[in-house]
Amino acid sequence: MTVRKATAADIGEILEIYRSAREFMRATGNPTQWQSGGPSEESLSADIAEGCSYVLCEGSEILASYFFKVGNDKAYGKIYSGEWKSDEPYAVIHRVAVKHRGRGLVGACFEECKRQFSHLRIDTHRDNIPMQRALIKAGFEYCGIIHLESGDERLAYEAY
């Protein structure tokens, strides 16, 4: 498997992975995350233009998509019911979605992020139990609660 930056030519395939992820989340007790159709083509195009959208591939097949960026995330400026493990510079991971479950693809994405920058932060929906398990398995620690610009609550994790 290889990781590369996503391109505009990948958008259709990535959107299909996100559509499948929304179905999986609904089926596993997470009926609200991304259910309004997100991540959208517009946000994905912006991520690609920013150079922060990545895909995990096997040959020419895209198996996973995620956002990765070194730098602060405004939503992580205030944490509730806990604290971050370190104030050192960090990278953020968002919008992780995989085509096939049970193949270790989420873990492979996390490993590539750790290879690029060892201090990582990520958040997930309270109802996204599969992602919470994947985060713990990958060595992330639960740190507390953050709020998105929309006011939505997310569980915050960090690996350092």
138-148 tens-digit pLDDT:
999 999 999 99
The domain containing residue 15 runs over which residues? 2-159
Q: Is the peptide bond before 31 cis (omega within 30 degrees of 0)?
A: no
Q: How many domains, the chain? A: 1
Q: What is the mean pLDDT of the chain?
A: 94
- Per-residue confidence (pLDDT) for residue 32, from 0 to 100: 81
**126 HSE (CA, 13 A, CB side):** 7
Residue ranges, the chain, pLDDT below 50: none
- Per-residue confidence (pLDDT) for residue 34, from 0 to 100: 81
Domain containing 18 — which CATH number? 3.40.630.30
Query: How many other CB atoms are found less than 10 A from the CB of residue 58?
Result: 14
- Per-residue confidence (pLDDT) for residue 30, from 0 to 100: 85
- Per-residue confidence (pLDDT) for residue 131, from 0 to 100: 93
- Ramachandran angles phi, psi of 32, nearest 5°: -115, -25
Query: How many other CB atoms are found less than 10 A from the CB of residue 15?
Result: 17
Query: Tokens 């259709």 sit at which residue?
Result: 12
